[in-house]
Structure formats: structure tokens, C-alpha cells
Structure 1
Amino acid sequence: METPNLPAIRALRPAWNKGRIVGKKRPLKPKHVWAIRVRLELAENHRDLALFNMAIDSKLRGCDLVKMKVADVMSSGQIKERASVLQSKTQKPVRFEISEGTRASVEKWMEDELMVGSEYLWPGRLHERLYISTRQYARIVRDWVTSIGLEASAYGTHSMRRTKGT
């Protein structure tokens, strides 16, 4: 007796990770870091430059980075040399040094009119959003990476965390 050929089962939509690199994200190399910094400086994008520098210096997860408050990095009108942030995942404080270049970029960002009266270091555009979302931060990182010609799927927010260590 012959068995009939059954029709192939097809997915209704493509898999969410089709064509994407999954797994560990690569850290940025020093030449990539400098290329992104130069582009942000030339574009006079003070927020993104301060965010980029703080992400590398702090080695914080994206969710902790976007929730940073002005009081975490500033005291008596000056940017601190060392800051401490409570991690949301482990509930442990993390101390990190803020380099001179990062202090300068954050100070420049603090002078911006968007920062007037803001409690958070990276305020959202809409009033109901007190700070930028981690998803928005991921889009910003993707834009930085693609602006210097790298493959966006190979790098992510965790790449910023891993960069200083390498």
C-alpha cells in the first residue's frame, strides 16, 4: 500500500530571529569607540555623546543606565569623579569612575535646554516617560554601530557593557 504525500507545513510568518546573529554580542574595539565618538562630536549630538561615554565608563546594563538620575553623577554643581548606582537585577551598588572626557560630555549635555528641571540624566521626550526606554537605548546603540559601517545584529547594548573590559 502506498502512503500519500502530505503537504508541507509552512509557518504563517518568518521566525523573529531569521537572519539575525543570536548569542553573545561582540564588544566594540578601540577604533570603533573612537569612530563613534568623533561622529557624535562632529554632529554636536551632546546627549548621545554623553550617553555613549557613560555607557562605556559605567559598564551598566541598559536598564540601569537609562534610569540614572542627575543626583547620581552630580553634586554641588560639578560632575563627580566616582559614581555609585544600585543595580536593578542584583540590588547591589556598583561604583565606577567617570573619566575626564565623560565628565566633559555630561557637563555639556547638562547645559542643554532639554535638561532643565529633569530628575533623570536621560529624559524622555514625552511627559509620561520620565526617562528613555531601554528599547530606545537599543535603537540608539544600533544607530551608532551602523553609522560606522558595522553589522547591527552583531552588536547591542551589552556590547557597551563589555567594551571597557576588553
Structure 2
Amino acid sequence: MGDVPTEDIIAEPEEPTAGVFSVALSLLQAYGWYLIAAGVGLYFYHRNRISSPATARSNKPKSPAEVQDWQAKEEQRLKAVQRLQEKYAQDAAVKAERQKQLDEEKRKQRLEEMQKLAGKVSVGNKLGSGDDENNKKSLRQEYNPLMGDQGSSNRVCFRRPGGASGG
């Protein structure tokens, strides 16, 4: 075997971008949700903390005319708020007065009902006095309200056998 020429195989190193890509991919697979959450948190932090002073400074009026305009608008806004507050207070007072009147009327009605009930109990008729019974005209002498619609006394009532007769 000595006649066959041998070649030396030299291993080529991997490209550096492939190594970085595989490392980044493995980190993303392992800590992906954490990285996304951190990115969103940094975005909101940057938007709220760092950008706010710049926007706050830009909203302030710079010239005296702008200051006066801003003060006038602020006074108008405060007057409008005050008007709305007064209107709300008036409406609330009217509603409270109505509710108070309704409660008073309900209380009076309850008192009247209780007095009527108390009056009926104390001035009631005795049983068997017969004053009202004599004034009533009897419809039929043989009428019995327990008989139902037919109500005649010559009807025979058939009873079913009950009890332990079986069935």
C-alpha cells in the first residue's frame, strides 16, 4: 500500500457568521420570551421617561403672547368646569328634594293605611249581629256554595271508595 499517494485532509474552519448565527439562535430558543419582554419594557421606558421631558418642554408656551393665550384658555376651561359643577349641584339638590317629598308621601300613606287598619279593628262588627244578614235577599233556599256550579240539593253525590281496597 505504499504506492497509493495519500492526501492530507485539512478541516476547514466554519465561517464566523455561521457560529454567531447558531449562538444567537440557541439564545433565542432558550430565552426568547425573556428577550421579547425586555425589548418591550425598554421600548416603553424609552417612550415614557426619555421622550416625556422633550414633549413637555415643547408644550409650554414660549412667548408672552402664547402665555396669555394659554392662561385665557385655562381660565375658560376652569369656568366651564365650574358651570358644570354648579349645574350638577343644582340637579342633585332638586333630585334630593323630590326624593324627600316622595318619601314623605309614602310615609303619610303608610300612616293613613295603619290608621285605617287600626280603625277597622277597633270599630268592627260583632259576629252574629244579623243587621246585614236581614238586608240581604236570599237567592235560593236550597243553594249550597260547596256544591259547585250545579248547586241543587236533589243531586246525589257519588263517593269513590278510598283507602286500602287496592287497585
Could you state the TM-score of these two structures normalised by the residue count of structure 2? 0.19
Larger relative CO (CA 8 A, sep 6+): 1 or 2?
Answer: 1
Question: Which one has the bigger helix percentage?
Answer: 2
- Which has more radius of gyration? 2
Question: Which one has the bigger strand percentage?
Answer: 1
